[in-house]
A and B are shown apart, each in its own frame.
Chain A
């Protein structure tokens, strides 16, 4: 297969300049948009121009991605079919791919052919296979939709902030494209850091708001820790294989040898340490295990950013990395690191879901839900079902973007109100039908209700989990119930029940509030800080009118809901993830299904019963949410769940305080670090500075010692000279003697 594709590629390349050009345009368009938005800022454009530039460029990039997909279609289909046919057989066939070289990027050689000579090649190039195309389709597609949504959502900030937002947005899509399409690990790292930077810039968009700035720094710093692992992993890959180009690395792994010709399986570090280092990077970016703490705080950013970066695309980069490097993970016959990945994902899925159940901020609930769903994806990869993991990434991208954008519409309309105790029955307000419908269908997907896209993709993971390790399966199954509960808890509290609302603490320059428009514009963060939670402090006099979403938000939400349904045949109704499964099968993430697991679900084949089981679990969760949060609820603040709280004791409080993980990190990491830094500060202040000052003090002291001789008395000087002369004469005489 490899050779067949290889010849096909080399044969196609000379006259395949068209596809090469198409691929380059996918990266160039967001770059152009970034530059133009920057120019808009430089020329102080005070219109929605940056938004339309971004939407147009990203839409064009999406079209080019589609063209690339069409061009690569036959290749994918061939490889996918092959993969399907051989699924049962234990053959390590390498799937079809296309490597495009755009330009030499970081290429060095040293030593000039001597024994110590070496080469390092990192082209700016693309590695196109099913996985790349799958990711690029939703990155550019959702990027376009969310940019359109943001054109309205960010309208209160038209001006410099608007330009800044869309410039960073374009830069994000550019970086994400580089990350996904990279032909080597170094270019992936470039994109990886680029999305991290954009994430930082966009979380801290409301830079006058201390919480946003703190969240941005937290995200950046937590990511740095993981990125250290990734960088070490990349260097390790270079050390092992003498290259970081995917195709060459995969060729070595396929042959089972490292660059020196030694077999990989006997290496002491390649099968375990290398994937572990990469996993650290993946877990950092995707907010898993110890690293999840940054993701909920990242919700301080504008909601379109949360939807695109912190739900649909960037946070799935970790999943992408592991899927891309899957051949490396499967060198180890015991799959040690894959098991670790599965457990890491499973624990995060459960942990984050428990916090999501207790939180009152619906956007934070969605944030925890994202960490939890990412856990599912990692579990999917870890239990050898990369198709399931990727399918869940794909469907999650759609339904979580829908949910976030629906939350964002609520936030936009109710002046930043996100507390589910202060909103109720929003569906019944005029103009909120589409938002409510989007929230409802998104919630159905997230809860895994039968036949939704989320249901199919989650089932793939659950079934494989039971097959590989029933413990993981059970935890994930319970988490599925919790997910359904917290999702519908948010929906029932905010959109159903009696109509009630309190505005949040942010003022946008709406038409109804012309008098506030002036200071509402760029003082988004400042405003909320100044009034610090006093909703009535704006001179509304209690007269608050919710601001129903406009055409852009409604169009995007409607499109996404349609999208959630449209992707069902792409992920569902088939054993191995349908179209998505085929795409993943035609990529480096292809699982050759060497060993089927022997786990069962209560003695039954998990693949055949999981549909029913997970449906029941999801419906149970929804029923619980209905009983606790909708049935008989007469006010926004109180529901049946309150009666349950005393019975649960302190657990609810603990969960509400995020299990005190942030406090724990404070105690274990931040306070010792602060203490150490104080010690180092003192050392610097007194030891280092003391030494420096001492060297300055020596000439100063000497000067003070001899300064009295400069008395200003001319006769004193003369006497000194005469005395000196006398002494000299005496010396001369004594020597001459």
Chain B
């Protein structure tokens, strides 16, 4: 990963190189993943997925800038739009799930197994 970052970074990016952005993105993603795996509260788990989402968005923008292409940014803008709608729906789902079980615990839905 470092070799990729050192291959040549534009001066316009200031002090931060592609590598820095990717590290931040990886940290965000890992935090989200750990949170998703360890917490049982549906809302927290949902927030963790959002965190992972933003990590990938950050990586996309960093790569887009690195390649001097707008594709990455355009893509992220679309993703954010969709993610907003999806967040609204997901929260609505969580509310419904809560109403059914009077609990936000993911374990409460274990009987949905195949």
Mark A residues whose CB is within 8 Å of B.
707, 710-715, 718-719, 722
Contact = CB atoms under 8 A, between A and B. Distances in A.
Interface size class of chain B, counting residues whose CB lies under 8 Å from the partner chain: 10 to 19
B106 interface: yes
A611 B20 CA distance: 132
A707 B113 CA distance: 9
A707 B109 CA distance: 17
Contact of A712 (B37, B40, B113): B113
9 contacts: A711-B113, A712-B110, A712-B113, A713-B107, A714-B109, A715-B40, A718-B37, A722-B33, A722-B37
Describe A's contact surface by its main secondary structure: helix
A710 B109 CA distance: 12
B7 interface: no
A380 B67 CA distance: 110
Contacts of A715: 37, 40, 106
B114 interface: yes
Contacts of A710: 113-114
B112 interface: yes
Contacts of B102: none
Given A710-B113, A712-B112, A712-B114, 5 more contacts: A710-B114, A711-B110, A712-B111, A713-B113, A714-B106
Tell me what chain B mostly uses at the interface: helix, strand, loop, or mixed: helix
A723 to B, nearest CB: 11
Contacts of B107: 713-714
Interface in B58-88: none
Contacts of A707: 114
B48 to A, nearest CB: 10
Nearest to A713: B110
Contacts of B109: 712, 714
A425 to B, nearest CB: 87
B43 to A, nearest CB: 13
Nearest to A714: B106
A711 B109 CA distance: 11
Contacts of B114: 707, 710, 712
Interface in B9-56: 33, 36-37, 40, 45
A711 to B, nearest CB: 5
Nearest to A722: B33
B91 to A, nearest CB: 17
Interface in B82-100: none
Nearest to B112: A712
A639 B88 CA distance: 108
Nearest to B34: A722
A688 to B, nearest CB: 32
A722 B111 CA distance: 23
A719 B111 CA distance: 18
Nearest to B111: A712
A712 B107 CA distance: 8
A714 B46 CA distance: 12
B110 A718 contact: no
A722 B35 CA distance: 12
Contacts of B36: 718
B36 to A, nearest CB: 6
Nearest to B114: A710
Contacts of B40: 715
> Which 10 pairs between the two chains have the least Cβ-Cβ distance?
A712-B113, A710-B114, A712-B110, A714-B106, A710-B113, A712-B112, A711-B113, A718-B37, A718-B36, A713-B110
Nearest to A711: B113
Contacts of B106: 713-715
B110 A719 contact: no
A715 B33 CA distance: 11
A699 B98 CA distance: 37
Nearest to B48: A718
B107 to A, nearest CB: 7
A362 to B, nearest CB: 76
Question: Which of B40, B45, B114 gathers the greatest number of chain A CB atoms within 10 Å?
Answer: B114
B102 to A, nearest CB: 18
A531 B40 CA distance: 80
Contacts of A719: 37
A714 B110 CA distance: 8
Pick from A710, A718, A722 the residue with the most CB of B within 10 Å. A718
Contacts of A711: 110, 113
Contacts of A718: 36-37
Contacts of B45: 714
A592 to B, nearest CB: 88
Nearest to A715: B37
Contacts of A714: 45, 106-107, 109
Nearest to A707: B114
Contacts of B112: 712
A295 B109 CA distance: 76
A614 B89 CA distance: 110
Contacts of A713: 106-107, 110, 113
Contacts of A712: 109-114
A175 B45 CA distance: 84
A500 B113 CA distance: 86
Contacts of B33: 722
A719 B113 CA distance: 16
B22 to A, nearest CB: 14
A133 B113 CA distance: 84
